[in-house]
Structure 1
């Protein structure tokens, strides 16, 4: 057995109990890593790697970070996908005998964080778990920082796709995978950057007992999960993982179930193409729908708004309830302003309460909670003035917390220190015993502060000083030159290079009073603070309910604010399956440019054979993609309950939005741009319904002209057969022929104005197709050399001269024949072009036909 020093024995024993994680052990004012963990931590944190003697093992690697700023270092480790166990001192070093007892108090992983400094205020931090069994897939989601705990279950042929889409929507920071769910872990890790951990799954009965114990109930009947066994097991996996990692979840006292069928389904390609919460340029929120809408004034509201954008509703009643609340706030501008001013004074109530319940809230957390609770009464009057419908329901969910606010206000100083160990957290007058200890400490310090002056006067030793260190406590210091004049009652304690240090019986007595009182005061203050924190945790359930109601009020008021500021209107949700938009605008483009040109959209009811598919042609840069996206975003906004950027809007609910816009290589997966395009297109064609909205941009451009056109043509036919509402932007102006054969297909174009060789983009979408792409004009604007432009124009003229328009679509039993670019013009065509029929007699015509038959006939 390897011989180690006692402290390193302690370290490596704790390390052995927590394999797969870095162990950081508290040593004095540092958290230290040893051995391989030190090498890993030093490299990840870019800090100095030092060493420490380890008995017979010699010198081993060591790295450390300061205790007072440990969170910023832990955050960096977690961002790199590492996990860290904190091994803390379990007893007071001042009273400990021998080696200080230490133990792991917390294992920090990406999905178990509650610390504000490590979390994004505007985004949930979900820990997810997947359990696959008996043809069912259960998904559980917990945000420990807010206490939100939800589960769903999917089954059937579409289960895998549904679960993948949920993972893409939620983007959990950590995923627990049980048996048979490893493939989901690989996908989440590769595509989403999620940290993945294998976690054993409990049997159903044990899983139920674990949840019952957590929620302190008799059974799970009240949570709506009795028919979702795999979801129950997934939820228990999360609780077991939290327990193993020493994460207290006292604030998690309920479980909500939801169905993925209750929300509009958006696949990952659609989320990316529409740039809902992340842009395609750098993954940030700038130039996204969230970036435009997020005028929330609380962190709770910001997180909820993001979830709404990611989960549009399919329930007409719920949508109208939100719309009515937004409209109510919009018509009461002064009330909305007062309410938002009041909400601005609130801290992140969800996370403050969650940290308190987990036993991790510090003095400033409880002070922020106190200030928030004291600010809440100011919201009562504005809410009363608009208290109808959904707003009234939310008002009723806001509990009265004035007693807890008063307790916290009486106990805490106005501006407490960051750490409890610094003292000075509890107000004077709150606890009589604490006040006495503080008086003792102050009086003793007062005596010691005056001792230097009085001793100088008494002894005549003007260089005498009073000092303090942690080894000897308080002492009197004299230079060696005065050693022969030292009073007899002085007891020499230490000799330094230039001075002697002394103590007296009286000094030690007062020192004992001071230090004893200080230690007792710190211990008592810590106990009083812990009682306050426990008091908050007892109210966690009602506090979290209040927080969630306030978050929704913030979102509704924000949607109203954005609508008023940007001129959005309330869309009309109708039973008919249509989309009619007057003067629609792209919310993101409009917000970042001046003079946006609005456009109309009319996709009518299929039963009336109205236009259901718009084929949009026009040049590059004219705004085809913008037009497609704006209609998809208008539908999405309407179905989250928001007002929309338009003069008017009528729509029937869409079950799904499919968007295929832009190119994205997946070279790491061996997929070209065209392959990705076809995979995403296949997903659309296989899952779209007549209630879906499909927007497609330049499909088929990644292969040869003939292949691409054939694919685009066939896709439109298929979407028309399905009846999906479709907007199809293309450069293949030959597709305009489809409108002549299919009554539900209409041609539209993005108009341009030509001035000689110059063109001006009008960004107006008008009825009718176009037969030009203006590619050479765009090349000129991009700065392509004139010689290349001239040659391009010559080649284009030659190709256009030799091409034919597409022939009509034949009967369905025949194959589609297209003659688009027959570069070798038939000789008979040349002969016909030279022929002047006005100079031809009937006899000459017959003779010429006979000659051509022999010459050109087959």
Structure 2
């Protein structure tokens, strides 16, 4: 028998392995005294993540441990790493002869089911996702356990990209999947430390139900499994109908830096708009950015609210201050359901109700509709006011007072005994000493006898009759009295009485709070909406944004628009150059945008998209004026990178993203293409870019498109129906170039790549040689054009009429082939070679 087997074959290790076998995908925190111990592979994995010492039990079994009182911090790090943690506590054994303590799992903590503040972001949603395949459709659910939100999509299973894109957009921390749905989870998400949880058969409903009922049952069952004895309840499931919202795929969200900027966390649309004072408001804002509306009535409602709040700045400032007192009620309610309530939460709820009442009074004065509190909430508020201790409430019951005096006579007496017990004893001692005249009389305390009166042996004979002997010592006698016993009982029982009364009231308040969940959630929703409107109002006021007009003809008409984020963070003294744009699906809908690098092409494209998003969020806009139509999707193809782990090159990624756009867009879409085709050879790239533009202009009505490119040859397509040219203007003087960042109609003269290379610091010898090569290539190109235009170079069809039939056929073939060549599409040296070759063939014929 091996030493490892012997080490495992002990009562404790058998207990550990038996429990661990039920949770193979989790790290088991096994309570042993004051520590949570981990063993075997769990210990190795945890030691690496937590940077704790890896030791061995009985010199054989890998072991690592953490103090139980510091567990939350360690759990947070494991959850951040995408791990699940099973907490196993010691319990009293029902068998008095048992050699080891009983242990039971009290909680399973997974990334998608956390509710503790220290494990959650301050305002970001924390989603648990579930994919359920039924016939030809996927039910794709996203549950935020911390806020009780349950959203779901109903998507045809063949729309694989849409399913993957939706998962990427929500970025769930954990996904419950069936075997037949694993292929729908995007690999990119797996790299983001997503926690994958296979569906256990016991989570499925017993009776035959379908669709949404299965989804809700599985999520409920999973939460009951994780939280054991606690009950959770989601809000009513909400179907997300994507026809109600402006569609933004994950790449577009990333390219436009709506929520995150890899270079600067503040330089995002969210950061710019976020003047919210509440966590619920911040979540509301984040959701509006990701899901702008396509309902014109909702946009008008937002604008009305903003206009109203703009008129009452003083009231708005007071409202914003009141919002500071409003806590994250959604998450508090969830913690209550999960057995994580804190006494201090009630002070937060009390302040939130008072804040709501103050806000309502202010809003009623300016004509902004805000709901009244229900009678039940008002009664609840009065109960808190009457009963809660007026000072700072404790984090845990028993640390400091929870209830105010006057709650009950029993509670008051217990508090008096706790606070004044020592004074009582001192007063009693002084009184008995004076009445008896015994100078050696002292009242003392020890854990065995409790309180007692001690008198020296000499004076013990003179003890009063009401003194009851308790103990005889060599040095004296110990007594008690009915009054001392009564005081002792009151003092020693005070903590127990206080704890019992406070625990009962605390549990009643938790129960009462949860009974009012719907009312509290309604309050939170109204506060979030108000917070959102105040944020947008502040943006309007501080930046001078204007109210747009809604069009119904599909047109996008922007007068002197600005990039909201870039303008906000310009260095002091710099001014943002505004630009205008007119895209008409029934006219000029597709803009080919040329201009040098650094001239502002990407900024211009992004600002158009951001303005469209702001428009459909119901915000005012950074422009002189704007008249916009609602769009159904915004697509972007900006920048690219290798996906090395999947063996995908930069160009392949670029083409995948382009294919996705070309297969998804509609006439109501807004598309931004930036340098498509630059990842391959000139011929291939130019041909692809050209054909994409032709494909887009075949549609009627056309999508609204900005196609930024360095292929100047593409400007020739402006002759096509619906395509027109825009360029970023420059000013040249004495070999110096100034980027004016002004968008104009027409095409740029050149790309100024060598000048940009010089600015970037390339050696002068390199840039000078580049100029020489460019001059040579341009002269060759000019020579080609001249040769091609020479009428004597090639005979026309009239001049070959005297040739025999076979020669005529050959000559016609050559001329036809020659006419197909567009010099603008071929690098100069290659074009010259082709022309000379055909010229020789023509002369030989």
Question: TM-score, normalization: structure 1?
Answer: 0.82
8 Å CA contact 2:243–2:632 kept in 1: the answer is no
Q: 1:312 & 1:173 partners in 2: Cα distance?
A: 23
Asked if the contact 2:81–2:193 (Cα under 8 Å) also holds between the matched residues in 1, the reply is: no
Note if 1:112 corresponds to 2:93.
Answer: no
Match of 2:800 in 1: none
SS at match of 2:179: coil
Q: CA deviation at 1:742?
A: 1.1
Supply the distance in 1 between the matched residues of 2:412 and 2:31 (Cα, whole angstroms): 32
Comparing 32-41 and 786-795, the one that deviates more: 32-41
Matches within 5 A, 1:262-661: 262-281=244-263, 285-387=265-367, 392=369, 395=371, 401-414=377-390, 415-446=392-423, 514-593=491-570, 594-606=574-586, 610-661=587-638
* One of 729, 732, 738 as aligned partner of 2:711: 732
**2:176 match:** 176
1:20 has 2:28 as partner: no
Tell whether 2:24 aligns with 1:44.
no
Aligned to 1:308, what secondary structure does the other structure show? Answer: helix
CA deviations on 1:427-464 (whole Å, 9 max, x unpaired) are 222233333333334454446678999999999999x9
SS in 2 for 1:664: coil
CA distance in 2, matches of 1:150, 1:299: 19
Separation in 2, partners of 1:9, 1:827: 82
Query: 1:752 aligns to what SS in structure 2?
Result: strand
Q: Whole-Å Cα distance in 1 between the matches of residues 178 and 446 of structure 2?
A: 58
Q: CA deviation at 1:156?
A: 5.8
Paired with 1:571 and 1:613, the residues of 2 have a C-alpha distance of 22
Secondary structure, aligned partner of 2:248: coil
User: Quick one: distance in 2 between partners of 1:548 and 1:821?
Assistant: 61
Are the structure 2 counterparts of residues 854 and 697 from structure 1 closer, same or farther at C-alpha, using a change threshold of 3 Å? closer
Whole-angstrom distance in 1 between the partners of 2:113 and 2:224: 11
**TM-aligned CA deviation for residue 578 of structure 1:** 0.8
Residue aligning to 1:131: 132
Q: Is the 8 A contact 1:397 1:545 kept in 2?
A: no
Q: What is the deviation of 1:523?
A: 3.1
Distance 1:202 1:230, change over 3 A: farther
Aligned partners of 1:204 and 1:233 also within 8 Å? yes
User: How much has 1:505 moved relative to structure 2?
Assistant: 7.0
Q: Report the equivalent of 1:837.
A: none
Deviations 1:240-274 (A, max 9, x none): 11011126344425222222332222222211111
Q: Offset of 1:638 from its aligned partner?
A: 0.8
| Residue range with higher mean Cα deviation, 615-624 or 370-379 | 370-379
User: Deviation of residue 473 (structure 1)?
Assistant: 9.2
Measure the CA separation in 2 of the matches of 1:110 and 1:451. Answer: 59
- Residue 798 in 1 paired to residue 776 in 2? yes
Q: Deviations over 1:173-198 (max 9, x none)?
A: 11111231112346364254321101
Counterpart position of 1:74: 75
Q: Pick closer, same or farther for the CA change 1:600–1:146 going to 2, 3 Å.
A: same
* Cα distance, 1:17 vs structure 2: 4.4
Contact 2:174 2:194 in 1 (8 A): yes
Which residue of the partner structure matches residue 497 of structure 1? none
Bigger Cα displacement from structure 2, 624-633 vs 104-113: 104-113
Residue 823 of structure 1 aligns to a residue in which SS?
helix
Task: For 2:517 and 2:511, locate their aligned partners in 1 and report how far apart those are by CA, in whole Å.
Answer: 10
- 1:771 lines up with 2:749 in the alignment: yes
The residue aligned with 1:144 is 145
Indicate the residue corresponding to 1:822 in structure 2: 828
- Structure 2: distance between partners of 1:295 and 1:592: 16
Q: What is the distance in 2 between the residues matched to 1:28 and 1:297?
A: 44
Cα deviations by residue, 1:22-77 (Å, 9 ceiling, x for unpaired): 23355565544455544443432223456677xxx98873512242x432221111
Deviation, structure 1 residue 602:
0.6
Q: Secondary structure at the match of 1:277?
A: coil
* Cα distance change on mapping 1:17 and 1:670 into 2, 3 Å: closer
CA deviation vs aligned residue, 1:671-720 (integer Å, no higher than 9, x gap): 11111111111111111111111111111111112221111111111111
**Is this contact kept in 2: 1:803–1:820, CA < 8 A?**
no
Counterpart residue number, 2:802: none
- Paired residue for 1:671, among 648, 670, 681? 648
Deviation at 1:775, TM superposition (A): 0.9
Distance (whole Å) between structure 1 residues aligned to residue 769 and residue 433 of structure 2: 102
> Shift of the alpha carbon at 1:207?
7.2
Q: For the Cα contact (< 8 Å) 1:179–1:201, is it kept in 2? A: no
| Cα distance in structure 2, aligned partners of 1:486 and 1:207 | 84
The match for 2:806 is none
Q: How many angstroms apart in 2 are the aligned matches of 1:467 and 1:720?
A: 96
Q: Closer, same or farther in 2 for the Cα pair 1:110/1:522, shift >3 Å? A: same
Aligned residues: 789
Is the CA contact (8 Å cut-off) linking 2:227 and 2:338 kept in structure 1?
Answer: no
- The one-character-per-residue Cα deviations of 1:544-563 (angstroms, maximum 9, x if unpaired) are 12111211111122111111
What's the secondary structure of 2:108's corresponding residue?
Answer: strand
Whether the aligned pair in 1 keeps the contact of 2:360 and 2:372 (CA below 8 Å) is no
* 1:579 positional shift: 0.5
| Structure 1 unpaired stretches of 5+ | 210-228, 494-499, 831-851
Provide the C-alpha distance between the structure 2 equivalents of 1:400 and 1:754, rounded to a whole number of angstroms.
73
Provide the C-alpha distance between the structure 1 equivalents of 2:83 and 2:606, rounded to a whole number of angstroms: 39
Distance in 1 (CA, whole Å) between partners of 2:280 and 2:326 is 10
Quote how far apart the aligned CAs of 1:374 are.
2.1
Secondary structure of the corresponding residue to residue 633 of structure 1:
helix
Mapped contact 2:204–2:217 kept (Cα < 8 A): no
Give 1:233's aligned residue: 214
Deviations 1:585-642 (A, max 9, x none): 0111111114111000110241xxx211111111110100000000011111111211
Cα gap change, 1:574 to 1:36, in 2 (>3 Å): same
Superimposed CA distance per residue, residues 396-453 of structure 1 (whole angstroms, 9 cap, x where no aligned partner):
6988722212212222223112112425222222233333333334454446678999
Output the CA distance in 1 between the equivalents of 2:99 and 2:487.
Answer: 28
How many angstroms apart in 1 are the aligned matches of 2:775 and 2:296? 54
Give SS of 2:254's match: helix
Write out per-residue CA displacement over residues 467-513 of structure 1, whole angstroms, 9 at most, x where no aligned residue: 878xx69799x9xxxx99999999799xxxxxx9x998789997665
1:686 is aligned to 663
Over 3 Å counting, the alpha-carbon distance change for 1:829 and 1:174 in structure 2 is closer
Q: Identify the match of residue 754 of structure 1 among 729, 732, 737.
A: 732
2:635 and 2:821 map into 1 onto residues whose CA distance is 28
Quick check: 287-296 or 318-327, which moved more? 318-327
For structure 2, the residue ranges without an aligned partner over 5 or more in a row are 462-468, 790-814
Give, in angstroms, the shift of residue 138 of structure 1: 0.1
**TM-score, L = length of structure 2:** 0.84
| Mean CA deviation greater in 131-140 or 504-513 | 504-513
Take 1:793 and 1:344, find their aligned partners in 2: how far apart are those partners? 61
Q: 1:621 to 1:790 in 2, by over 3 A?
A: same
- 1:86-125 map, 5 Å: 86-88=87-89, 102-125=103-126
Contact 1:131 1:201 in 2 (8 A): no
Secondary structure at 1:395's aligned position in 2?
coil
Contact persistence 2:145–2:334 (CA under 8 A) = yes
Distance 1:603 1:386 in 2: 40
In the aligned structure 2, how far is the partner of 1:622 from the partner of 1:441?
Answer: 76
Between the aligned partners of 2:532 and 2:407, the Cα distance in structure 1 is 39
Q: Distance in 1 between matches of 2:83 and 2:166?
A: 25
